[in-house]
Structure 1
Amino acid sequence: MKSSKPVHLREVWADNLVYEFFLIKEAISRFPLVALDTEFPGTIFQLNRDKSWLSHATPYENYCLMKWNVDLLKIIQLGMALSDSHGNLPSFGTEFHYAWQFNFRDFNIKHDHHNEESIGLLERQELPSDMRSFLGMMRFFFGVRVYDTKFMMGCISGLHGGLERVAMLLGVERITGSRHQAGSDSLSSLQTFVRFKESCAKIDLEKLNGYEGMMFGLCEGWLGFTYAPDTFMGTLV
């Protein structure tokens, strides 16, 4: 972060959603680096209680586990942080820098107004049944310039662990909010990615050939776009 301005998380609800989308649209051309984080109510399906299975599970097994949980659970929050290539956040001419935290509420088909045709469409859009279709869908919506900090750091510098540990090892301090809040975690992901890029002289966002779309747990044997439910880093195109 290049400025001493405090960072404020913009809480997004139904009544201010359109205005916040307007601000994001205004900022994205000057702050094209995007970090996203999602918060779900825990993990229901697990292969076993020992997390060491992840180190030897196949991409197919990882995708199935992710799909089972995402299809069953409702998202609670989505965090978004925008920056330029130096880690500067949008300020919109104010005394603060900003990141966003979208708050979701449950939709109850028995009580909430709805359109039957729209509900039918939504019910047919759970995650695709196979990973190849999922990769194609993600490439369509997000393009190819997407980077997973967890995957890259493990391959390039041997850093391992969750977001909190990797940020600590790189000297990144959480500057607003708390862990497991989507807005704060997306900002920490962004700061960690920028610090990692700055600490490696050879790393250039324009020359990250081979790392586009390579996501932790889903990339073994895959050169296409993949996705992990937590740390997600990329640029909108």
Structure 2
Amino acid sequence: MFAPPPPPPYNTVPMHRLPSFYHADSVSPPPPLAAVPVQAVWAWNFDQESSILRSFAMGARYVAVDVHYPGIVHQPGKDHNALTPEQRYALVKANVDSLKPLQVGIAVCDRHGGIQAWEFNLCDFRRHSDPHDANSLAYLDGRGLDVDTLAKHGVDARRLGAMLLSFSGLIGHWHGLSWVTYAGAYHVAYLIKVVTGGRPLPNDVAGFVSAVRHFLGDQVYDVAGMAADCPALPVGLERIAAHLGFHPPWGSSTLAAAAGVRALQVFKRLEYGEFAGDVGSYRGLLKGLHY
């Protein structure tokens, strides 16, 4: 049997052994003092955690995704703000097609307000042979992500994609399900790459939008856009979450699943607070291609 790797500094007690957190009678913003546990997923516990995810996802109402990837290797030839949506998408496609994701963080909120999160560590990237941005890898290393450990003990991205597509109940079964990300064209694009087995992204924005709707539905929200319309909020997801009183998630407070948890918490707080349930205009991820 595959031996588990030494626990990374961001690993924690398996979530399914912990008590349920902040359930309520209806979907509502979670109390600010609740800390969500994150379960790190490796090759050795992938099947077990996939089963737990599937069980929890049966009652899913919201899903947040965040992907860590090895930087950007294709840069715009001019100011990013001057690019058209098609040019922005071409840049996203060039980078996502060229690079391999490192982690996929998924946070799921059920219809009672409970949140659980999984951090899928991927094994496909090789530091010495795959394209990457060295500064981005150094930044992630400083936050606790060791790409060499991922290569030794992580999950093959195709295996993760097959599970999400056929087993999780989250992809392609999106009736009544909303997806959340923070400044996330890249996050969604990498998720599409994973669930399609690593195939190149569609050639244009229309094809990308069609793929997103096919796999995720049309309820895909950009928390960055929501926060930008709230002048009292600081800039940056971690700062916004701290400002609103959310504690860092347990077990992986700085990596992909933690960002998913924060995006989900902030989305729900703004949805039921500042926006009083009216968040339809913030399905802007596909229009503006923010990142």
**TM-score (structure 1 length as normaliser):** 0.69
Contact 1:38/1:75, CA 8 A, preserved across alignment = yes
Residues in 1 aligned to 2:223 and 2:52: alpha-carbon distance in whole angstroms: 26
Residues in 2 aligned to 1:137 and 1:149: alpha-carbon distance in whole angstroms: 21
Contact 1:87/1:194, CA 8 A, preserved across alignment = no
Question: Which residue matches 1:208?
Answer: 279
Alpha-carbon distance change, 56 to 170 in structure 1, aligned in 2, over 3 angstroms: farther
Question: Which residue matches 2:211?
Answer: 137
Residues in 2 aligned to 1:77 and 1:46: alpha-carbon distance in whole angstroms: 22
Give the fraction of aligned pairs with identical amino acids, expressed as a percent. 32
Structure 1 alignment gaps of length 5 or more? 90-97, 115-120, 221-226, 230-237
Amino acid at match of 1:73: L
Contact 2:32/2:245, CA 8 A, preserved across alignment = no
Contact 1:170/1:196, CA 8 A, preserved across alignment = no
Question: Which residue matches 1:104?
Answer: 122
Please state how far the C-alpha of 1:160 moved relative to its aligned partner.
6.7
Structure scoring higher RCO (CA < 8 A, sep ≥ 6) equals: 1
1:14 maps onto 2:40 in alignment: no
Map Cα deviations across residues 159-181 of structure 1 (whole Å, 9 max, x no partner).
573312332443433233233x1
Map Cα deviations across residues 104-129 of structure 1 (whole Å, 9 max, x no partner).
01179xxx9x9xxxxxx957x21111
Question: Which residue matches 1:45?
Answer: 74
Residues in 1 aligned to 2:242 and 2:265: alpha-carbon distance in whole angstroms: 11
Question: Which residue matches 1:178?
Answer: 253
Amino acid at match of 1:132: A
Question: Which residue matches 2:58?
Answer: 29
Q: Give the 3-state SS of the residue equivalent to 1:80 in structure 2.
A: strand
Amino acid at match of 1:35: A
Amino acid at match of 2:124: D
Question: Which residue matches 1:223?
Answer: none
Which has the larger helix fraction?
2
Question: Which residue matches 2:261?
Answer: 187
1:82 maps onto 2:147 in alignment: no
Bigger mean CA deviation after superposition, 71-80 or 165-174: 165-174
Alpha-carbon distance change, 163 to 5 in structure 1, aligned in 2, over 3 angstroms: closer
Amino acid at match of 1:187: V
Contact 1:86/1:194, CA 8 A, preserved across alignment = no
Residues in 2 aligned to 1:122 and 1:146: alpha-carbon distance in whole angstroms: 21
Contact 2:34/2:247, CA 8 A, preserved across alignment = no
Bigger mean CA deviation after superposition, 132-141 or 161-170: 161-170
Please state how far the C-alpha of 1:83 moved relative to its aligned partner.
1.3
Contact 2:33/2:246, CA 8 A, preserved across alignment = no
Which of 196, 199, 211 is the matching residue for 2:270?
A: 196
Contact 2:68/2:102, CA 8 A, preserved across alignment = yes
Residues in 2 aligned to 1:24 and 1:82: alpha-carbon distance in whole angstroms: 9
Amino acid at match of 1:36: V
Q: CA RMSD in A?
A: 3.1
1:63 maps onto 2:89 in alignment: yes
Contact 1:3/1:88, CA 8 A, preserved across alignment = no
Question: Which residue matches 1:224?
Answer: none
The number of residue pairs the alignment matches comes to 193
Alpha-carbon distance change, 42 to 29 in structure 1, aligned in 2, over 3 angstroms: same
**TM-score (structure 2 length as normaliser):** 0.57
Q: Give the 3-state SS of the residue equivalent to 1:186 in structure 2.
A: helix
Residues in 2 aligned to 1:162 and 1:182: alpha-carbon distance in whole angstroms: 15
Please state how far the C-alpha of 1:4 moved relative to its aligned partner.
6.6
Please state how far the C-alpha of 1:76 moved relative to its aligned partner.
0.2
